[in-house]
Amino acid sequence: MAENKAAVRQLRYAIVGAGMAGLLAGVKLRQNGEEFTIFEKADRLGGTWRENRYPGLTCDVPAHAYTYSFEPYPEWKAYYAAGPDIQVYFEMVADKYDVRRSIRFNCEVAGMVWDEASHEWSVTLGNGETQRFDVVIAASGVLHHPKMPVIEGLESFAGRAFHSAQWEDDAPIDGVRVGLIGNGSTGVQILTAINKRVEKLVHFQRSPQWIMPVPQFPYSDEDRAAFRADPALMDAIRYHDEYLGAIRRFTDGITDINGPEIAQIEEICRLNLENSVRDPELREKLRPDYRAACKRLIYSWCYYEEVQNPSVYVDTGRIARIEPEGVRMTDGTFHPLDTLILATGFHADRFIRPATVTGEGGRSLDDAWARRPTAYFALSVPDFPNLFLLNGPTGPVGNFSLIDIAERQWDYVDQLLDRLRSGAERRIAPTRAAHEDYEERRIAAAKTTIFGSGCTSWYLDAEGVPASWPWSYDAFADAMKAPVFADFGLPDESSAAGRLEEEASA
Ligand code: NA7
């Protein structure tokens, strides 16, 4: 239901991106009776679920947990939802909450400049148009700039070669020889989906992955009818002890790398490998030489089974170059191929960029982030007032729902927005001191997490420091309950109320 907070000022909001987090912001503002514009560079909403269309695309968070808390969804088709079904969910939410009319599609934000005199963001769009806003919510996602591998000869390949996030529907897969480079979540999911369709699949694995076994099962029509009749059944899945226990074990494990939780995770993954892969040679090829959960854990119910299909050949060697007819390894081996899939990940340090963002004193976000993308509590940046980031740099990452993260972040940002709505403040940004203090503590803690225990991954920044929230999930939930207003140079509401009382009685 609309909450309709009393507002002295009607704020003008720009939201960048109509993915999961941008839609969330839109729903919340709509429920509060506020106006906003969501700028979306593409012609559809959905963010990563719109962009990625590769076979096997699945969210590795249980479907009933990867839903907005305010919009449980009885229609999920399986415990882990397929990408297209998630896209349907977001489209439904956009319509049900009347957000779609406020989305401007095919409208990329090219730049934004903070006007210190008027306390407004001047937002310039790709078509040159400029609009002014009081607040910008950057919900532009993390993994949406495909990272092409730098391999000699890639452009000489005679067949079709494309990044997993730019799937080419008409590229030959069935009955042909396919090369698949990369085995993060994407490469693994693609392998499990196509290995039975191809004549031959060569999976190039520069680093093997630990695989966490998880159950997957479809929901039947009867299940869905039961969910519709009794939404508590969906909550029972979302808040199931076993699921929440696994999340807690995971988040405790990543922050206490000598503790029992991570040891348990490692043991589950090791036993999965030992018990699932029959051929000892393949088993050793698939055994990582780094600790489980250092890279983002792969959750899969079928990878080990599928990788043992005779059509699959795993090559853990180094690629020397790509030739017109296939891939040459440094040991001289040649793999003749018809199609080459590049599941090589994303530039995870871009966030709202390449949009140029200019804050107070003419400071550019590129400069502020020259060393590493950073934000106070992952949400806001000194010198860039009234700019709030959802799923921005150094937020929690791992095998849990980013929807839950974004919802908590929104609740926090909303409390800051109240200060603007009430007219008490015109600009809100953290102080440099508060940000530096946060970042110093964060970096020190991040280096001791499992992500920093000796592997490469998209979690690491350019200096090899994990770019993530380094404390427990509960600590994150606590931090998001209420801003420390003093860190924004703002009076605490309770102390402000106290002061007023003192003044009144003086
Ligand atoms: P990831 O997890 O970043 O994985 C990229 C994979 O590509 C990884 O196996 C890399 O090997 C491999 N890679 C990258 N460049 C090369 C070159 N040049 N040669 C060989 N192999 C290469 O991306 P995903 O798309 O799978 O997943 C991203 C996230 O999306 C995932 O974590 C979920 O949150 C959803 P490396 O490990 O670096 O040796």
Q: What digits encode the pLDDT tens for the residues 107-137? A: 999 999 999 999 999 999 999 999 999 999 9
Task: Please give the share of the chain, as a percent, with pLDDT higher than 70.
Answer: 96
pLDDT at position 248 is: 87
Tokens of 248: 């807690």
Cβ pair 402, 389 in contact under 8 A? no
- Residue 399 pLDDT: 76
pLDDT classification of 65: cutoffs 50, 70, 90: very high
CA of 343 to the centre of ligand 1 (A): 6
Ligand 1 midpoint to CA 206 (Å): 9
Residue 124's CB is within 10 A of a number of other CB atoms, namely 16
**Average of pLDDT values for 370-397?**
96
pLDDT tens by residue, 223-270:
999 999 999 999 999 999 988 988 888 989 999 999 999 999 999 999
| pLDDT exceeds cutoff 80 at 503 | no
Residue 459: phi and psi, rounded to 5, are -75, -20
193 lines ligand 1 (CB under 6 A): no
Quote the pLDDT of residue 400. 84
Q: Is the pLDDT of residue 494 over 60?
A: no
Answer yes or no: are the C-beta atoms of 358 and 112 closer than 8 Å: yes
Give the pLDDT confidence score for residue 118 in this predicted structure. 98
Q: Which residue has the tokens 């190039």?
A: 204
DSSP summary character for residue 308: T
* Rounded-to-integer distance, Cα 93 and Cα 68, Å: 9
Under 8 Å between Cβ of 152 and 328? no
β-strand partners of 201:
178, 312
Q: Answer yes or no: is pLDDT of 493 > 90.
A: no
- The predicted-structure confidence for 348-364, as pLDDT tens digits, reads as follows 999 999 999 999 999 99
What pLDDT was estimated at residue 215? 94
SS3 label, residue 124 = strand
CB atoms closer than 10 angstroms to residue 447: 14
* Amino acid 5: pLDDT: 66
CA pair distance 79, 364, nearest whole angstrom = 44
Q: How far apart are CA 122 and CA 109, in angstroms?
A: 11
Q: Please, which pLDDT band fits residue 498 given cuts at 50, 70 and 90?
A: very low
pLDDT (0 to 100) of residue 500: 44
Report whether pLDDT(177) > 60: yes
Per-residue model confidence as pLDDT tens digits over 299-344: 999 999 999 999 999 999 999 999 999 999 999 999 999 999 999 9
Which of 210, 327, 344 gets mutated to test ligand 1 (max ligand atoms within 8 A of its CB)? Answer: 344
Q: Is the pLDDT of residue 495 over 60?
A: no
Mutate to test the pocket of ligand 1, among 20, 185, 330 (most ligand atoms within 8 A of CB): 185
Residue 214 tokens, joined: 């998880």
Place of tokens 């869905």: 224
Single-letter code of the amino acid located at 237: I
DSSP bridge pairs for 450 = none
184 lines ligand 1 (CB under 6 A): yes
Ligand 1 atom with minimal separation from the 344 CA: 7
End-to-end CA distance of the chain: 42
- The DSSP code sequence of 173-207 is -TTSEEEEE--SHHHHHHHHHHTTTSSEEEEE-SS
- What is the phi/psi pair of residue 52, to 5°? -85, 125
- pTM (predicted TM-score): 0.95
Q: Is the pLDDT of residue 75 over 80?
A: yes
Burial of 256 (0-12, 13-18, 19+ CB in 10 A): middle
Q: Mean pLDDT across the stretch 415-420? A: 98
Mean of pLDDT values over 140-159: 96
Distance between Cα 295 and ligand 1 center (Å): 10
State the Cα–Cα distance between residues 224 and 221, nearest whole angstrom.
5
Look at residue 55 and give its three-state secondary structure.
coil
Q: Is 183 in the pocket of ligand 1 (CB under 6 A)?
A: yes
